[in-house]
Amino acid sequence: MGSPVNLFISRSQKTDLRTNSDDVALWQSVRKGNDLAFSNLYQRFSNLLFNYGMHFCYNRELVKDCIQELFTNIWNRRETLTEIDSVKHYLFTSFRNLLIQHINRNRKLFTDSNENDEFLDFDLSVEDELLAQDFMKENEKKIINGLTKISKRQREILILKFFNDLSYAEIASIMSITPAAAHNLMSKALQCMRVVLR
């Protein structure tokens, strides 16, 4: 992704489109009661969801339980599931909501006490985003360590964008914020990571 912006669809974009259409086909099969498709859907997303969950909730058992509950709910409601455009977006949003419900039920705090939702007036350009992606690839070990030193919301947006390759619109929906707020939070997160990694 470190190459200049191209007018043609890149190989990774084609793969993303193919993967999304494969996911949607699996989803349709699950809706029809295909247990093999359900198993494939679980195998494809359970590790991604687990890794995502562990970045802002350190209770492994709770994260695993929420993944199990999510997929159990999907199977039990398979006949009433609606068609969706992005299975990844649906699963991440549903999982996050379920995890938050469980955390709140257990009376644990989800948000950082030092994290207010005040968003700065920063805007990411295409160049900033490409630099951020290159930066992430080159410094992966430092980044993983740095992620533990920033706020949970900043960590979450970086994980969703760079490790799970979600769009700002999808991230905004998952995090229950506006796309503009997602851009601003990303800018703030990248600034904090630069400071942490110095």
The domain spans of the chain are 11-105, 126-196
CATH number, domain 11-105, options 3.40.50.2300, 1.10.1740.10, 3.40.50.150, 2.40.30.10: 1.10.1740.10
pTM tops 0.75: no
Tokens linked to 196: 């942490």
Give residue 93's pLDDT: 92
First-to-final CA distance of the chain = 24
Place of tokens 């009433």: 80
Angle between helices 126-138 and 140-147 (to 10 degrees): 100
Q: Which of 34, 150, 148, 156 lies closest to 95, judged by CA?
A: 156
What fold is seen in the domain 126-196?
A: Arc Repressor Mutant, subunit A (1.10.10)
Identity of residue 166: L
Q: Which tokens sit at 120?
A: 């700065």
**Nearest-angstrom CA–CA distance, 52 and 95:** 10
Query: Tokens 């999510």, residue?
Result: 70
CB 77 within 8 Å of CB 31: no
Q: What are the pLDDT tens digits along the chain (198 aa)?
A: 443 333 333 444 444 445 778 899 999 999 999 999 999 999 999 999 999 988 877 788 999 999 999 999 999 999 999 999 899 999 999 999 998 888 877 754 434 433 433 333 334 455 555 666 666 566 677 777 788 888 989 989 988 988 888 889 999 999 999 999 999 999 998 888 888 777
d(CA 45, CA 86): 13
What's the confidence (pLDDT) of residue 125? 52
For 165, the token pair is 């390759």
- Contact between 75 and 153 under an 8 Å Cβ cutoff? The reply is no
